[in-house]
Structure 1
Amino acid sequence: MITVRSKSIVKILFAAAVLLLFAYVIIEKLYPESKEDKPLIIIAEADSVFINVMREFGIKNTWYSKKGDKYIVKLPPDVSAEMIILDISEKMKEKNVTIVSKETVKNQRAVMELYSGDEYFYSAEFSYDKNN
């Protein structure tokens, strides 16, 4: 036989379950889990990939420098900035990295910005130097 006390306990438990369900839905909306399985990259790893790609393309250490969070790269005319950016992108495709690039034919410049998740890491400005 169900008593009045048992009925009130059931009502309280049911209300608690409903409240927990609403709380769960609200938390899921406010703080969704990341669906990315790709790991975030760290700045040192991104710098390492950049420097290794420079070496692979035969870019000497004296042809590029880093000032703050920006690389300045002077390329010889026979090296394509677009190919360097593509190679960097290929080497980082397994990471949670976004590369934004803009090339201007008139000024013969290319600018690349690298982000990991929503965090800005660095940019690289490529220009051509006939003396290299």
Structure 2
Amino acid sequence: MSPSVLFVCVHNAGRSQMAAGWLQHLAGDRVDVLSAGSEPAGSVNPVAVEAMAEVGIDITGRQPRLLDPDDVRASDVVVTMGCGDACPFFPGTRYEDWELDDPAGLDLAAVRPIRDEIRARVETLVADLLG
């Protein structure tokens, strides 16, 4: 059975969507990938979409979704990115909190370093999960 990773940020429109895109790109079907937000936006941040497209990852078809406690319960790893206490805690689940700037309202030049930091963290996560 593949490990499951849930990425959570407030709006599920930028950081968590980029992280999910990276994980799917780097791990393929070896990891189950979910993302959600405590207060989901109406759509994915277009600058995040553009930043990911620059590296060949298409996240245009994604839709922000509300965090479901069942997703947290079913995940082996929950990565939070600024969602604070909104993420439910279940004993036995591995949690990581990644402090990353929110790309909301930023231009492409400012989002690129966030995208690249997320990639580095996802690469470490993949090595740990599948290494």
Both structures adopt the same fold (TM-score exceeding 0.5): no
Q: Greater RCO between the two (CA within 8 Å, min separation 6)?
A: 2
Question: Which protein has the bigger strand share?
Answer: 1
Length-normalised TM-score, structure 2: 0.26
